[in-house]
Amino acid sequence: MYKIIQKERLHQIIYSMWIEAPQVAQSVQPGQFIILMIQEKGERIPLTVADFDRERGLIRIVFQVVGKTTDELSTLEEGDKLFSFIGPLGKKTEIEDYGTVVTVGGGTGIACIHPITRALKEAGNKVISIIGARSKDLIIMEEELKKASSRLIVTTDDGSYGRKGFVTQVLKELLDQDKSIKKVWTIGPAIMMKVTCETTRPYPVETIVSLNSIMVDGTGMCGSCRVTIGKESKFVCTDGPEFDGQLVDWEEFMNRLTRYKLQEKRSWEIYQEHTHLCTCGRRTN
Ligand SMILES: Cc1cc2nc3c(=O)[nH]c(=O)nc-3n(C[C@H](O)[C@H](O)[C@H](O)COP(=O)(O)OP(=O)(O)OC[C@H]3O[C@@H](n4cnc5c(N)ncnc54)[C@H](O)[C@@H]3O)c2cc1C
Ligand code: FES
C-alpha cells in the first residue's frame, strides 16, 4: 500500500501529495508518470511525477480536481493509503546539454515541467522558464521553479501577478531577442501547448509537448491514448508522453479528450448523490 506522507493544498482545487513508493522513486526519471488507483474498484488515473526523493523513497504528485477520482483523491489525508501506484511509466525526457532552452508550464503543467527544468539545468543548460496561469492564486510551485531554472518569468492572464498576458507572448519575445535558444518544452492544457507550437513554428527550435490523452492500462494494450504524430499512430503511454509538438494532430487529440464527457458527467453526478460536502471542503459518505 502506498502511504500519503505529506499533503498540501496549493490552491482551492490543486493539491500536492508526497507518496511513499520506494520502487518508483528508485528508477523514475524526469518526464515520466504514474497511474494510481485509490481503491480496488476505482478508476485508474495517470499523473505526472512532479518531484522525487530517492533516499526517502517518495514521489510527489500535483493534481487538479476536475472530476470524480481527483475529487476523491483530494479528500484523502496524510497516513491514508492508495490501493495501487504503478510506475514509472512512459519514456523519460531526453536530457542533454543543448545550450539555451526554454521550459513553459501552464496550470498543473507547472508541476510537470519542474523535474524536467531541474534536470536540464543540472546538465549544463541555461534554462529560461515561463510559468503562467489565469490569476495569481493559480500560480503554483514558484519557489521550486525559481530554484530549478536559470531565469523564471511569471505571467497571469489578468495581470494580478507577474507579466500580464499569455506565456506565448513572453516566449515570442524571447525567441526574437535570443537566437541561441535551441529547444522548447511545454506542458499544460492542450490549447496552450497547441498555441505554443504555433508560436515557435517560424523559428528554428524544436518544441516538445507532453500529451495528457485519456489512458486506461498505460501499457500500450488498450489503444485509449492513441494520437497521430506526423501521420503515424502512436500510443502516448508507451511512445510518449513527449512528442515533437509540430507533428501532433491537435484537432484529433483535442476531440479524443472529450469523448467520455457524458460518462464523466454521470459519474460525477452519482458520486455527488452518494457523498456529502462538509463545510471544511471534505466529501464524506
Ligand atoms: C500522462 C498524463 C499525465 C497527467 N498528469 C497530470 C498531473 O500531473 N496533474 C493533473 O492534475 N492531471 C494530470 N493528468 C490528467 C489526469 O489524469 C485527469 O485529470 C484525471 O484522470 C481526471 O479524472 P477524474 O475522474 O477526476 O475526472 P473525469 O471527470 O473522469 O475527467 C475529467 C477530464 O480529465 C481527463 N481524463 C479523464 N480520465 C482520464 C484518464 N483515465 N486519463 C487521462 N485523462 C483523463 C479528460 O480530459 C476528462 O475530460 C495527466 C494525464 C496524463 C495522460
Ligand atoms: S493507455 Fe492503453 S494503450 Fe495507452
**pLDDT class of 259 with cuts at 50, 70, 90:** confident
Is residue 184 lining ligand 2, measured as CB closer than 6 Å? no
* Residues with C-beta less than 6 Å from any ligand 1 atom: 33, 43, 45-48, 62-64, 66-70, 108, 111-112, 212-215, 241, 257, 264, 268
Domain range annotation of the chain? 2-91, 100-210
Total Cβ atoms within 10 A of residue 228 = 16
pLDDT tens, position by position, 99-112: 999 999 999 999 99
Instruction: Determine what percent of the chain is predicted with pLDDT higher than 70.
Output: 96
- Comparing 123-137, 158-172, 231-245, 259-273, the range with the smallest average pLDDT is 259-273
- Comparing 34-48, 63-77, 241-255, 265-279, the range with the smallest average pLDDT is 265-279
The architecture of the domain spanning 100-210 is: 3-Layer(aba) Sandwich (3.40)
Q: Is the pLDDT of residue 284 over 80?
A: no
CA distance 49 to 62: 8
Reduced to 3 DSSP states, what percent helix, strand and coil does the chain have, rounded to the nearest 5? 30, 35, 35
Tell me, in angstroms, the distance from the centre of ligand 2 to residue 214's CA: 8
pLDDT tens, position by position, 176-221: 999 999 999 999 999 999 999 999 999 999 999 999 999 999 999 9
Nearest to 170 by CA among 130, 140, 202: 130
Q: Among all ligands shown, which has an atom nearest to the Cα of 14? A: 1
Nearest to 49 by CA among 25, 72, 15: 25
Residue 277: predicted pLDDT = 67
Q: Is the pLDDT of residue 81 over 70?
A: yes
Q: Is the pLDDT of residue 168 over 80?
A: yes
Q: Is the pLDDT of residue 10 over 70?
A: yes
Name the helix (H) or strand (E) containing 6. strand 2-11
Is residue 35 lining ligand 2, measured as CB closer than 6 Å? no
C-alpha cell at 182: 535551441
Ligand 2 atom nearest to 223, measured from its CA: 3
Q: Is the pLDDT of residue 262 over 70?
A: yes
Residue range 2-91 in CATH 3.40.50.620: no
- Cβ 26 vs Cβ 13: under 8 Å: no
**pLDDT class of 267 with cuts at 50, 70, 90:** confident
Ligand 1 atom nearest to 267, measured from its CA: 29
**pLDDT class of 285 with cuts at 50, 70, 90:** low
Q: Among all ligands shown, which has an atom nearest to the Cα of 224? A: 2
Q: Is the pLDDT of residue 260 over 80?
A: no
Is residue 218 lining ligand 2, measured as CB closer than 6 Å? yes
- Cβ 255 vs Cβ 273: under 8 Å: no
Q: DSSP 3-state assignment of 240?
A: coil
Tell me, in angstroms, the distance from the centre of ligand 1 to residue 74's CA: 14
CA distance 132 to 109: 9
Instruction: Determine what percent of the chain is predicted with pLDDT higher than 90.
Output: 85
Q: Is the pLDDT of residue 270 over 90?
A: no
Is residue 215 lining ligand 2, measured as CB closer than 6 Å? yes
pLDDT tens, position by position, 223-238: 999 999 998 999 999 9
Higher-confidence residue: 281 or 191? 191
Tell me, in angstroms, the distance from the centre of ligand 2 to residue 250's CA: 18
Give the chain's mean pLDDT: 93
Nearest to 21 by CA among 61, 57, 45, 51: 57
